[in-house]
Structure formats: C-alpha cells, structure tokens
Amino acid sequence: MSNIILNFSPSGTYQFRINTGLSPRVQHSEEEFSRVLHEVEARSMPIYKAIVESIVAHARGDLQACLLHTRRIAEGLRPVLSAYYDRVHDKTIARNVWLSHVQGFFAWGMGKEDVGTGEWIKFDGLSGNQVMLFQAVDAFLGLGLYLSEETRHGNVPRRQREFCDAVAKASFRRLLGDDDVEGKIREEMGEIVKRMRVFRSAHRSRAKEYLLVPAPERLPMTAGKSLLKADMEQSMEFLDSFMVERLRQTV
C-alpha cells in the first residue's frame, strides 16, 4: 500500500508507471486506480485526528466534545469515500484492462525466508482491505480485526498496526448508554456504521464487475492465497463470502 501512496509527488503527480508504452486506456486506468487509494488515505487524515480526539474526550469525561468529534468522523466519511465512488467505474478505470494490466502488478507480494526453517514465506500482496481507513474506523467501532495477523504483519506497516490496535483497545462504544449525550454519541456511531455498510455493499457489487472479466493468465496472481482456484468464478466465491461476512459484522 505504501508503494502506491508514496508514488505521488507533493503536487499530486503520478510518478513511476507500470504500463509504460501501452495504450492510453491502460495507462489511464492504472493511474486512476492508484489515485483512488492515494486520495482515500490523504482525505482520511482529519478522520484519524477526530478518532483520537473523540477517544481522548471520552476518557476525560467531556461528552460534548466527544459528540462533536464523533460527528466529524461520520461527516468526514462522505468526502473520503467519494474518492472511491467517483473513480471506480468503467469510464475511469476500464474493466477490460484492470485485472489483466493493473491489479496484477500490485497483487503480487514479496516474500521472505524463514531463518529457522529456510522455508520461503509468501505475502499476499496489495488488497484494498489493507487501507488504513477501514481498519481504523472498524477499530473505533469495536468491530474487531478482519485481516489475519499474517496478512497484517506482511502488508501493513508497523505504525499503522500499532495505531489501529491502540484505537481498538480504547474503543468506548460498548460503554455508551442510550440517554442524553451518550445516546447522541451512540447515534453518531450508528451513522458511521450506516456509511460503512453502504460502502461495503457498493464495493461488493463493483468488485464483482471487475474481477469477473476473463483474464485466465491472472489466476495465479490474484491477491490472496485463498483465491488460487481453477477459475475466477470459483475464486469469487471465496472473495464474496469474505465481503458478505464483513458486511454482516458491520453493525
């Protein structure tokens, strides 16, 4: 994930390209896909700040401030998620080139040799579920992890893991009552849940549109060891069950 986020200059120029020399449609799709992940992270900074401020305010017993910061999280999700809604469609990221020319490069993860056994340990590679925003918001809501520890350690930077773990430990949603200011904070938490559910439902539909495009040469490269099936329809069964389960847990 860091490779994509850091592949933009301070002025927002996309720097190192994968598909140099291929058609403008392929190159444009590559850049726009990268911009989705970059913009989601860039726009999420106020949300991370509000998460910390909400937790601190609650710990201090300042419920009015906690309400204000929690409301900012709910309100802030709209412009952040619009980076996804506005770009992930065929006119911007072409479905007929994404799987074959764009996602494969990022889906490959490097590995490392286990010093003790000499075994080569493979990493799954980049996947949108590694975006810090979703991990941080889920932690704030007290929803628990959806990535395995192996995937987290192989693909998520240590500081990001530590931040999300700290947020999860300090999550106070389960402590809130239903009356007065606590009730209002709970309502704002409910708004956050609603927006995350809408996003996860939309992402499930759009992901299918992209992943079901025929690209047989890509089967061994699709992100996630469990996706290495005989064909993409079988692979989608695993991915869809993962997305459905996380949608079910987002309450």
- Binding positions for heme b are 203
Residue ranges of the annotated binding site are 203
Amino acid residing at 105: F
